[in-house]
Amino acid sequence: MRKLYYAKDSKRGVFKTYLWFVEEVGELSEAIRKGNKDEIANEMADVIAWLSSLANLLEVDLNEAIVKKYGSGVCPRCLSIPCRCKEWNS
Q: Does 12 fall in a domain?
A: yes
Q: Does 35 fall in a domain?
A: yes
Q: Does 78 fall in a domain?
A: no
> In the chain, which stretches have pLDDT less than 70?
88-90
This prediction's pTM: 0.86
Q: Does 38 fall in a domain?
A: yes
What is the structure's pLDDT at 88? 60
**6 Cβ contact partners less than 8 Å away, ≥ 6 residues apart:** 53, 56, 57
Do 17 and 54 form a contact (C-beta atoms < 8 A)? yes
Total structural domains in the chain? 1
Q: Does 68 fall in a domain?
A: no
CATH number at residue 30: 1.10.287.1080
- Of 3, 4, 2, nearest in space to 56 by CA: 2
